[in-house]
Structure 1
Amino acid sequence: MSLICPLCHLPLLLNDRSWHCENRHQFDQAKEGYVNLLPVQHKGSREPGDSAEMMQARREFLQAGHYQPLRERVVELLAGHLGQTSVQLLDIGCGEGYYTAAMAAHFTGQVYGLDVAKMAIRLAAKRYRDILFCVASSQRLPFADASLDGIVRIYAPCNETELARVIKPGGVILTVTPGAHHLQQLKALIYREVQLHTPEEKVYAGFEQAAQHSLRYSMTLSGGDAAKLLQMTPFAWRAREEVWQTLQQTNTFECDADFTLTLWRRD
């Protein structure tokens, strides 16, 4: 196993549903199968991560298949660049596990899902029993040095130094960020002037950009699904009540999905 203790950074071993290190730090495995590796001093707030409403909306929207093309493209790109199926993979900010499950269905080895939101991890672990999920911070990854073949980061915050630490030489990071026109029709309901998304300008020291792809397509949504999409975005905080009502009363809502997928390879 690649997991390390979040307190002393020694390897964690699983024994009778309890993870422990040589310094006798212990982290019990929940009945759903996940492990909480987020010490209280690292939480930052009482319940970090997305709200329950956002998570439920995201689960229902994703399960309806609207982002299935992105899910398939993520697995396709990973498979093409990793060159083998027995790998150690981490999905950062995995939420309820929609993309993590697709990776686990394709790859052998070990797939991990990590999120700071305990409720999201509980939902994920309950549904996808063959994946090891953990509650942890992306700023302090509970993984050993050079232990992972790949990391997937879909919109999630990250610590570039930590990514470089845990990725093996030759390993990859796959990032998914909004393309210029992502959800522009939804934004037009909220903002007087719609600004196009600007490209992410992160640079990962010790990595080279191996590939970049765009994925853009139109979604035809019911009003209810459009409202769920809004609920799972940061735009929800700015939406007036009449926007929610308009969406709920709409039969169909046309909206663009636009993603940029960038693959980075460790030197």
Structure 2
Amino acid sequence: MPFSCPLCHSPLQRRESAFICPQRHQFDLAKEGYVNLLPVQHKRSRDPGDSAEMMQARRAFLDAGHYQPLRDAIGVLLQARLPEQADAILDIGCGEGYYTQAFAAIGRHHGAKTFGLDVSKAAIRAAAKRYPLVMFCVASSHRLPFEDKSIDALVRIYAPCKAEELARVIKPGGVVITAAPGPRHLLELKGLIYDDVKLHAENAGTIEGFKVVETRALAYEMSLTGQEAVALLQMTPFAWRAKPEVWEILAATERFRCQTDFSIHCLQRED
């Protein structure tokens, strides 16, 4: 496996139920099958990332299929761009694994192992329980615990990551597939929260060290129950701005219509 030690950056080797580096730093596998590669000195808080409650809300929303068109669109790009023989796919900011397990199905046809990475221990624990064919790890997307030039394809749905880290882990000619909000994404939901609703800025998808080889726009309307609308709000970064009455309005709504707008880019590493 292409894991590297988050402490000394040496290669990690699997030894029964742990990963160990030549400097004898050891990272044990949890009973669910994931490994925690986020040292305490790299944490910004005691329990970073989404809480168990936020993770469960996102899982319920995603399991209902509202973002399946996004997953399918990324899957088409991944299938087209992944080499016939590949080693590794990495999904950063993978959450509870909804997207990751679909990418793993594609990867298996190319001989690739799929990895999922998230800073939230609650999300990774849930993902590992549900999708045992994926190797999940708790880690920071700003310090990817992978060896140089070890990843054939990396998927980044909303997740932040330093350009130099992407360039470091991606193989020459490898690809990064990103998804970000388009200008009108969740406009109706934002309208309940902000007096002055601003459109998202256009996303050119550029990353230093990579060239954009394909761009796709994806937009469609969702029809949500009140419970699903509440779960969607919990998934968004502007949930913290929502007043109590906004949550009450959504929960009492029989049908909430809200548009999606995604900007998808496929980039290839320049050498």
TM-score relative to the length of structure 1: 0.97
Which letter does structure 2 place at the counterpart of 1:260?
A: S
State which of 253, 259, 262 in structure 1 corresponds to 2:262.
Answer: 259
Alignment of 1:183-222 (within 5 A): 183-200=186-203, 203-222=206-225
Gaps of 5+ in 2: none
Alignment of 1:15-164 (within 5 A): 15-84=15-84, 86-108=86-108, 109-164=112-167
Superposition deviation, residue 83 in structure 1? 4.0
Please give the secondary structure, in 1, of the residue aligned with 2:94: coil
Gaps of 5+ in 1: none
2:205–2:212 CA contact under 8 A, matched in 1? no
2:89–2:114 CA contact under 8 A, matched in 1? yes
2:182–2:203 CA contact under 8 A, matched in 1? no
Superposition deviation, residue 202 in structure 1? 5.8
- Identical amino acids, percent of aligned pairs: 58
RMSD (Å), alpha carbons: 1.1
State which of 239, 242, 247 in structure 2 corresponds to 1:244.
Answer: 247
2:203–2:263 CA contact under 8 A, matched in 1? no
**What is the CA–CA distance in structure 2 between the aligned matches of 1:16 and 1:158, rounded to whole Å?**
31
CA deviations on 1:67-90 (whole Å, 9 max, x unpaired) are 010011111011112242644110
Aligned length: 267
**What is the CA–CA distance in structure 2 between the aligned matches of 1:208 and 1:216, rounded to whole Å?**
24
**What is the CA–CA distance in structure 2 between the aligned matches of 1:98 and 1:50, rounded to whole Å?**
15
Q: Are 1:5 and 2:5 matched, yes or no? A: yes
State which of 216, 219, 230 in structure 2 corresponds to 1:227.
Answer: 230
CA deviations on 1:187-217 (whole Å, 9 max, x unpaired) are 1111112111112356322211101100000
